[in-house]
């Protein structure tokens, strides 16, 4: 995509403007897609011990000289219970009906949903609202009775900390594993750039669960990636 | 290109080249050690001086002898003049910029690193040390081959080559300087048998014995060996040969970036001094002084390249 993969030390801030150190001298940076937690992003503003961040980055950000994606504090949108409100947000802000339907999601903070979830644990996927990376979740159909019982206790102790969804049937693709070719579950993450117009990046991230039967595709838990092919039925206007 | 990427590329090839050169240095020691002669020889202490890590050496050992120096350079991994440290550093630098390398280059660095422990273990017995040194040289040459035959001719390639050539020039100067530190015992004459063997070992260590005979024919003459390894541009490891490559790649970098930097000026000045230098001038100045001066200017060039592009 022609985007440089940088570390904190590749960037510096001068007069509230962010620059990248290149072999052709400093190059101004307008947008940073960052993969570092808020606390480590700028040692002058947050954790002073951070060696990962860029000193002065937040000052440049406040001066409007650089866009951070995702913005500091945006982690609140990662709360999985926010997802359940997205259709309402669309109706409220856009006065439109959502085109893509949500996966039915149960908010365990609500009594009825909690009751339903507890009764159907063996069919559902239950996730912590603050969780990520496929950690701390229960995949009902793939769990033992003891695991389900233990998870039910966690759920009852803090219902607002969980949401539940029906187990989705992920597609499988042939995957090269130790004993040859075998089916493994995959999901696809498309990337959408929203600016003056909405563009879908050609391609995407296909994640694959490398353990047999597993639905957890997260790379932090041994998931892998696969090449993604986008088949065009119309000629690409960028191609001559 | 990110400065950090260029920096990793530059140091990656410097370390590969340095590993090869250390192998060549140890080879000189081993060649000299098997020559007949008296007890008062000092090929191993001169080897230690050339590594520029004499202090590290004498912190661990009392005496510079075959076993100690071989262990120090060939096997240990706690100081910068160690072959394993260089190979490891090369791979670490390469790994940080893996996508800037071709598969062949990365495979070469990585498999060298994977095979290193086994090779090192084999080399612990003295009779295998030559095989080990051959292996190190072979891996370095494979890396150079992979680089020149697969990499796009763009800035990344130029940085790899500049690092390699600067390091090679430095190493040729050091290898030649071995001769300065190799004192001849009192009863040995300059131009005598031992003197001849010493020069011949240096020539062999840079794989230039055939080249010598095709350039000069006739018997080995020290001033011709010096001329060949410093001032003959046809010789790929000569000082002027290496610097010719450096100005070429720095020039191509300047063309690509549309900007001439101080490092290009310094490199051209150093190259011109070598290109127009006469063999007599080298000996008038004194070989050791000439080499010391070259190493200093070569280092300054490296530092300027660092400032111009790598930080």
pLDDT classification of B123: cutoffs 50, 70, 90: confident
Mutation site, A9, A23, A25, A27, interface B, largest B CB count within 10 A: A23
Q: Does B309 touch chain A (CB under 8 A)?
A: yes
Q: What span, in angstroms and rounded, lies between the C-alpha atoms of B28 and B209? A: 13
- Crossing angle for the helix pair B103-123 and B129-150, to the nearest 10 degrees: 180
For residue A148, pLDDT over 70 is answered with: yes
For residue B80, pLDDT over 70 is answered with: yes
For residue A191, pLDDT over 90 is answered with: no
B250–chain A nearest CA distance, Å? 12
Q: Does B227 touch chain A (CB under 8 A)?
A: no
pLDDT classification of B44: cutoffs 50, 70, 90: confident
pLDDT (tens digit per residue) in A11-43 = 999 999 999 999 999 999 999 999 888 899 999
Q: Which residues have C-beta within 8 Å of that of residue B176, sequence separation ≥ 6? A: B202, B226, B229, B230, B287, B291
Q: Does B3 touch chain A (CB under 8 A)?
A: yes
Q: Which CATH number fits domain A79-167: 1.10.150.20, 3.40.50.300, 3.50.50.60, 3.30.1490.270?
A: 3.30.1490.270
Q: What span, in angstroms and rounded, lies between the C-alpha atoms of A228 and B188? A: 73
Mean pLDDT over B64-71 rounds to 90
Chain A positions touching B257 (Cβ under 8 A) are 23-24
Which architecture characterizes domain A23-75 according to CATH? 3-Layer(aba) Sandwich (3.40)
| pLDDT > 70: percent of chain A | 98
Mean pLDDT over B161-189 rounds to 84
pLDDT at B186: 63
Q: Does B177 touch chain A (CB under 8 A)?
A: no
A3–chain B nearest CA distance, Å? 11
Chain region(s) in chain A for CATH 3.40.50.11290:
23-75
Q: Please report which residue ranges of A10-121 form alpha helices under DSSP H.
A: 57-62, 80-83, 86-94, 111-119
pLDDT (tens digit per residue) in A97-109 = 999 889 899 999 8
For residue B188, pLDDT over 70 is answered with: no
Lowest-confidence range among B216-225, B287-296, B297-306?
B216-225
Mean pLDDT over B123-138 rounds to 89
B161–chain A nearest CA distance, Å? 16
For tokens 């600067």, the residue is B166
Q: Does B4 touch chain A (CB under 8 A)?
A: yes
Chain region(s) in chain A for CATH 3.30.1490.270:
79-167
For residue A240, pLDDT over 60 is answered with: no
CB atoms B259 and A24 under 8 Å: yes
Q: Average pLDDT of chain B?
A: 91
Q: Does A27 touch chain B (CB under 8 A)?
A: no
pLDDT at B184: 62
> Hey, which residues does A177 pair with through a beta bridge?
A180
Chain A positions touching B6 (Cβ under 8 A) are 23
ipTM of predicted assembly, 2 dp? 0.82
Q: What span, in angstroms and rounded, lies between the C-alpha atoms of A77 and A84? A: 11
| Rama region for B208: left / alpha / beta (φ>0; ψ in -120 to 50; rest) | alpha
Bridging pattern class, strands A31-33 and A67-69? parallel
The residue of chain A with its CA nearest to that of B156 is A23
A214–chain B nearest CA distance, Å? 30
pLDDT at B57: 93
For tokens 């140091």, the residue is B11
Q: Bigger pLDDT: A133 or A92?
A: A92
pLDDT (tens digit per residue) in A39-81 = 999 999 999 988 889 999 999 999 999 999 888 988 788 788 8
Chain B positions touching A20 (Cβ under 8 A) are 2
pLDDT (tens digit per residue) in A194-217 = 888 988 887 788 999 988 888 888
Q: What is the DSSP letter of B2?
A: B
pLDDT classification of B183: cutoffs 50, 70, 90: low
pLDDT at A62: 95
For residue B194, pLDDT over 90 is answered with: no
pLDDT at B185: 63
pLDDT at B32: 82
For residue B103, pLDDT over 80 is answered with: yes
pLDDT (tens digit per residue) in B132-152 = 999 999 999 999 999 999 999
pLDDT at B237: 93
pLDDT at B101: 96
CB atoms B1 and A23 under 8 Å: yes
């Amino acid at each position: 995509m022609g985007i440089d993969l940088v570390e904190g030390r590749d960037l510096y801030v001068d007069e509230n403007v962010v620059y990248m150190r290149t072999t052709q001298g400093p190059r101004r940076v307008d947008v940073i897609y960052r993969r570092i937690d808020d606390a480590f992003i700028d040692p002058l503003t947050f954790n002073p011990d951070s060696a990962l961040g860029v000193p002065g980055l937040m000052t440049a950000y406040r001066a409007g000289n650089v866009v951070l994606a995702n913005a500091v504090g945006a982690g609140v949108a990662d709360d999985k219970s926010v997802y359940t409100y997205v259709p309402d947000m669309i109706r409220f802000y856009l006065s439109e009906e959502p085109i893509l339907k949500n996966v039915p999601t149960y908010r365990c903070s609500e009594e009825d949903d909690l009751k339903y979830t507890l009764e159907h644990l063996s069919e559902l996927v239950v996730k912590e609202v603050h969780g990520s990376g496929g950690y701390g979740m229960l995949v009902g159909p793939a769990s033992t009775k003891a695991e389900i019982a233990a998870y039910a206790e966690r759920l009852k102790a803090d219902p607002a900390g969980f949401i539940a969804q029906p187990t989705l049937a992920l597609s499988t693709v042939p995957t090269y594993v130790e004993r040859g070719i075998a089916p493994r579950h995959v999901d696809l993450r498309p990337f959408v750039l929203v600016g003056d117009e909405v563009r879908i990046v050609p391609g995407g991230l296909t994640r694959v669960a490398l353990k047999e039967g597993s639905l957890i595709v997260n790379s932090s838990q041994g998931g892998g990636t696969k090449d993604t092919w986008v088949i065009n039925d119309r000629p690409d206007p960028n191609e001559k | 290109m990110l400065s950090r990427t260029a920096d990793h590329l530059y140091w990656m090839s410097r370390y590969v080249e340095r590993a090869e050169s250390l192998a060549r240095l140890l080879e000189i020691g081993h060649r000299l050690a098997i020559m007949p002669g008296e007890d008062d020889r000092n090929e191993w202490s001169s080897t230690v001086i050339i590594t520029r890590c004499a202090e590290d050496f004498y912190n661990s050992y009392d005496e510079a002898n075959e076993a100690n120096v071989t262990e120090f350079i060939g096997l240990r991994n706690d100081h910068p003049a160690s072959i394993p440290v260089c190979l490891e550093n090369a791979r670490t630098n390469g790994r940080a910029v893996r996508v800037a390398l071709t598969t062949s280059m990365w495979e070469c660095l990585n498999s060298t690193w994977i095979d290193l422990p086994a090779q090192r273990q084999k080399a612990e017995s003295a009779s295998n040390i030559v095989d080990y040194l051959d292996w190190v040289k072979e891996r370095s040459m494979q890396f150079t081959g992979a680089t020149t035959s697969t990499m796009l001719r763009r800035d990344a390639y130029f940085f790899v080559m500049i690092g390699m050539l600067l390091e090679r020039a430095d190493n040729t100067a050091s290898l030649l300087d071995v001769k300065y530190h190799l004192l001849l015992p009192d009863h040995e004459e300059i131009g005598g048998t031992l003197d001849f063997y010493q020069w011949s070992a240096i020539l062999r260590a840079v794989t230039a014995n055939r080249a010598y005979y095709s350039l000069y024919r006739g018997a080995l003459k020290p001033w011709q060996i010096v001329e060949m390894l410093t001032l003959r541009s046809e010789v790929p490891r000569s000082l002027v040969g290496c610097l010719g490559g450096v100005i070429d790649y720095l020039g191509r970098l300047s063309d690509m970036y549309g900007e001439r930097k101080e490092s290009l000026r310094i490199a051209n000045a150093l190259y011109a001094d070598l290109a127009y230098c006469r063999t007599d001038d080298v000996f008038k100045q004194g070989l050791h002084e000439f080499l010391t001066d070259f190493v200093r200017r070569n280092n300054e060039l490296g530092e300027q390249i660092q400032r111009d592009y790598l930080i």
